[in-house]
Amino acid sequence: MSRNASPSTIAVVVAFAIVYIVWGSTYFFIQNALKGFTPFLMGTFRFLTAGLILLSWCAFKKFPIFDKHTIGVATVSGLLLLFLDNGIFIWAEQYLPSSLAAIMASGVSLWFIVLD
């Protein structure tokens, strides 16, 4: 595909559908996983698996990922986004239906606009 060519409509629709299905089912699967795991253990397994997959990909592509700046940014974003934000959502799903948790999570981007 050349630089000025646009992606096909079907490819865009398929990519959009994949994002909707995968992202939309996250809270359903979190709630089901909480039947067998404690909230923070489940979150640990989830993000450890994702981190190992991404780390393997970066090693395969030979990305320079172990410099001081990258480690610092990853540490701060990991603590704020993964531990704090997602940890609270995973913990809350013990008491909320997954549909309500998904709606609340999707509304976060709107709060950024309102509060800005």
Is pTM beyond 0.85? Reply is: no
Who contacts 26 (Cβ-Cβ below 8 Å, separation ≥6)?
Answer: 102
For residue 5, what pLDDT is reported?
72
Question: How many H helices and E strands in the chain?
Answer: 6, 0
At 78, is the secondary structure helix, strand, or coil?
helix
Across 2-9, average pLDDT? 75
Q: Is the pLDDT of residue 105 over 90?
A: no
Across 51-70, average pLDDT? 90
pLDDT band at 106 (very low <50, low <70, confident <90, very high): confident
For residue 54, what pLDDT is reported?
92
pLDDT band at 101 (very low <50, low <70, confident <90, very high): confident
For residue 95, what pLDDT is reported?
92
